[in-house]
Structure 1
Amino acid sequence: MDSVVDGGVDGGAGGERVAASLTEWLSRLEFTDLGTDEVTGRIIDAVLAWAAEQGWRSYRRAASVLPLPPPMSDRHSVLDVACARRDGPPVVVEVDHTDRRRTWEKLAAEAAAGRVALWVRWGPGKFAVPPAPIHLVTCEVARHAGPAGAGRRHSRTTGPARPAPVHTARDVDPVVEPLPLPPAGF
């Protein structure tokens, strides 16, 4: 895969290229029957692998520029992934399965501080578009009910659907033949 080279870019067109690169990377991600936290973890791992492929240093749970709300305003929020790169501003990534205003606020603060802000939204679709300069990266995932007490489960496949198995004529249109009668005097 080609690396993303963004010499001296701000969050504008360079951010769009970075978002497109991550979208392409995540398009190959597959998993079956995972819980919500497992999917988020799998996507974060994929983001870290993507950053490594670009030659960037990446950090999980990096400190954000946005302080937490009171009464913990002496502490800062954390980002799912932050990436340092030589030829451009840092890239920050949040991964969510819901639309959270707090995520928008955090990423907007990061963008205002000169970082490329990416919001990876995953789920069954209909993703809200965040305000600029936050770049949306989507990862569509199918969801279904899990076993009792296990909550929702999520799966993602990227290849074509598997075709139905081939049936023989007998399987498709069975011929019903009468049973032979027992011989007389039986």
Structure 2
Amino acid sequence: MDTADDGTSTAHSLATWLERLTFADLTADEATARILAAIEEWATWQQWRVYRRAPSVVPLPPPLRGNSVLDVACARPGGAAPVAVEVDRLDRQRTVDKLLAEAAAGRVAIWVRWGIGPFVPPPLPVHLVTVQAARRSGRWSTVSERPAPEHSGSAPVVTEAEELPWEP
């Protein structure tokens, strides 16, 4: 948990969790849903209460009534600040404004951006977590900087069998 509760360690924890996330050949909506599910798993693993589409502190613009919603909100025990998470592929000013309002209300505000990048960091105290994904033929897949594993499709290595000495 954050001792100073500025959200840095919470954002780092989420970033580390999302590094394990992989998906392939998904639509943008499916990729967003997969990321949201991973965020929910992370928060549940932390033993936090998780709310999808929770009310934001930001009111909807007229003529609409009520408040905007957050993609994910988390209530944490022990008086720790709640966590407000928004997930976007695109750079949206209204998301930044919403998260700044959430931070001003005492919440840890995290913006999960996914896609090709580069991702421009939002103003503090909003924390940025990224998920690199590439688009091919209109479908999205995660990108890894890890090298591909060697496959056993290469030619087999042939050696001479020899008897090893046996000692009882």
TM-score higher than 0.5: yes
Tell me if 1:86 matches 2:73. no
Q: Corresponding residue for 1:6?
A: 2
Q: Corresponding residue for 2:27?
A: 35
Q: CA deviation at 1:160?
A: 3.2
Structure with greater Cα Rg: 1
- Return the match for 2:13 from 21, 32, 51: 21
Percentage of identical aligned residues: 56
Letter in 2 for 1:27: E
**Any conservation in 1 of the 2:51–2:72 contact (CA below 8 Å)?**
yes
Please, which runs of 5 or more residues in structure 1 have no aligned partner? 146-151, 169-186
Tell me if 1:127 matches 2:114. no
What is the 5 A alignment of 1:25-104?
Answer: 25-72=17-64, 74-87=65-78, 88-104=80-96
Q: Corresponding residue for 2:133?
A: 141
Letter in 1 for 2:147: P
**Any conservation in 2 of the 1:82–1:90 contact (CA below 8 Å)?**
yes
Q: CA-atom RMSD, angstroms?
A: 1.6
**Any conservation in 1 of the 2:2–2:8 contact (CA below 8 Å)?**
no
Runs of 4 or more above 2 Å deviation = 157-160, 162-168
SS of 1:102's partner is helix
SS of 1:31's partner is coil
TM-score with structure 2 length normalisation? 0.85
**Any conservation in 1 of the 2:52–2:73 contact (CA below 8 Å)?**
yes
Letter in 2 for 1:161: A
Q: Corresponding residue for 2:163?
A: none
Q: Deviations over 1:27-75 (max 9, x none)?
A: 0001110000000000000000000111100000000000111221x31
Task: Name the count of aligned residue pairs.
Answer: 153
Q: Corresponding residue for 2:142?
A: 156
Letter in 2 for 1:16: T
Distance 1:66 1:121 in 2: 20
What is the 5 A alignment of 1:108-119?
Answer: 108-119=100-111
SS of 1:132's partner is coil
Q: CA deviation at 1:161?
A: 1.4
**Any conservation in 2 of the 1:31–1:157 contact (CA below 8 Å)?**
no
Q: Corresponding residue for 1:174?
A: none
TM-score with structure 1 length normalisation? 0.77
Please, which runs of 5 or more residues in structure 2 have no aligned partner? 157-168
Q: Deviations over 1:69-105 (max 9, x none)?
A: 1221x31100000000013100010000000000001
**Any conservation in 1 of the 2:132–2:143 contact (CA below 8 Å)?**
no
SS of 2:25's partner is strand
